[in-house]
Amino acid sequence: MAQCMRATLNPPKTPLYSAKNLTQNPLFPSITSFEAKRKSRKYPKISLSVMSSQNQSQQRNPSIDALLNSGRKEEVFATIKDSVHNCLSETNLLSTVPGLKSKTRGKVRDIYDSGDYLVLVTTDRQSAFDRILASIPFKGQVLNETSLWWFNRTQHITPNAVVSVPDKNVTIAKKCSVFPVEFVVRGFVTGSTDTSLWTVYNNGVRSYCGNLLPNGLVKNQKLTANILTPTTKAEDHDVPVTPDEIIEKGLMTRADFDEAREKALSLFEYGQHVALEHGLILVDTKYEFGKSSDGSILLIDEVHSPDSSRYWIANSYEERFQKGLEPENIDKEFLRLWFRDNCNPYEDKVLPDAPEELVCELAWRSCV
């Protein structure tokens, strides 16, 4: 469906789905249904002090130099460079796929209405500062398949809207009433955008989205507990909001908000545990939820992708934090910082083109 039939650069250690988890979908006979059931299990609390002191963990979790300068980098980098001008930046399925009724263009996804279901095409568009910065080769495929990997493994926490996966960039999803709130969960004081926790904290804010923050925190410090900092899904930008304001404005009922908040915090704790097993720290992320026709609250959009989440390399975090150095990361933060240094990404009408070397580096980091 999406014109992005490209080979996977670096398949995940665990398959996104196996044959036993897929069934034929009578509504979309040419595609398969996403149907995986996982048993709930308990998982330990995250402890960076333990993490940084265990030799076995240190040996298992490679440094970012090992990850980003592996023997495959030259080969994959060449493929990325060849694809810089062949990204999936726009789609137009209305003229090629019968039965689609309308198209909504999001920052990253093109959403097509097919009646009872939505066709979500994840493009290669890179967004930050509430606008499009560039197109990144293979980004859409990575986001879509990463989210599917997590959707598969979080069904013990919450049901999701995924129905089928007909293409590496495409997901068929159930229709639901989307809550106009993004559930942003944070475990560290960091970030560079206007709504990031470090930015507002450094500006003197000590009460943020209903959370009281102590004095004396420094950038990239771990919080004593994960916190929720919700924002409203405004048309051109996200607006921080407290839980009480969400209820007072009628954005969600108290019961729906409480359920979604619990799901978000549980998803984040589980995500941190899984990330740590793979040598990464899940620093912060955002979740979106909707209500299905039967009244159940579903996880939608994406989960723990490098676009919606911040990841740091675990085994170098403590030492770099003590030295006042920025953590090694594999997310889009370095691209955000380039734009902050070279323009005003919030106010300039026209942004400079992202350097090709940064575009390729971001694509490589996403594919690692």
Of the candidates 47, 16, 36, which has an alpha carbon nearest to the alpha carbon of residue 272? 47
Average pLDDT over residues 142-162: 97
Of the candidates 203, 204, 207, 202, which has an alpha carbon nearest to the alpha carbon of residue 220? 202
User: How far apart are alpha carbons 143 and 123 in whole angstroms?
Assistant: 9
What does the pLDDT read at residue 122?
A: 97
Which amino acid does the sequence have at 256?
A: D
Strands, DSSP E only, in 77-130?
102-105, 109-113, 117-122, 125-128
What does the pLDDT read at residue 53?
A: 36
Query: Lowest-pLDDT range, 29-33, 71-75, 149-153, 265-269?
Result: 29-33
Scanning the structure block, which residue is given the tokens 């023997």?
Answer: 71
Instruction: Judge whether 118 and 172 are in contact, CB under 8 Å.
Output: yes
What does the pLDDT read at residue 34?
A: 43
How many C-beta neighbours within 10 Å does residue 50 have?
Answer: 12
Residue 368 pLDDT grade (very low, low, confident, very high; cuts 50, 70, 90): low
User: How far apart are alpha carbons 134 and 127 in whole angstroms?
Assistant: 7
What does the pLDDT read at residue 364?
A: 85
User: How far apart are alpha carbons 104 and 83 in whole angstroms?
Assistant: 26
Of the candidates 256, 243, 286, which has an alpha carbon nearest to the alpha carbon of residue 268? 286
pTM value is: 0.79
Q: pLDDT digit string (tens) for 298-355? A: 999 999 998 899 999 999 999 999 999 999 988 788 888 899 999 999 899 999 999 9
Domains of the chain: 86-175 (3.30.200.20), 177-331 (3.30.470.20)
Instruction: Judge whether 132 and 295 are in contact, CB under 8 Å.
Output: no
Cα dihedral sign for 157, 162, 166, 169? negative
Which amino acid does the sequence have at 259?
A: E
DSSP class of 148: H
DSSP class of 179: -
**SS3 per-residue string spanning 181-249:** EEEEEEEEECCCCCCCHHHHHHCCCCEECCEECCCCCCCCEEEEEEEECCEEECCCCEEECCHHHHHHC
* pLDDT over 80 at 134, yes or no: yes
Q: pLDDT digit string (tens) for 10-66? A: 333 333 333 333 333 333 333 334 433 333 344 334 344 434 433 444 444 555 556
Scanning the structure block, which residue is given the tokens 């940064």?
Answer: 358
What does the pLDDT read at residue 44?
A: 38
DSSP class of 355: P
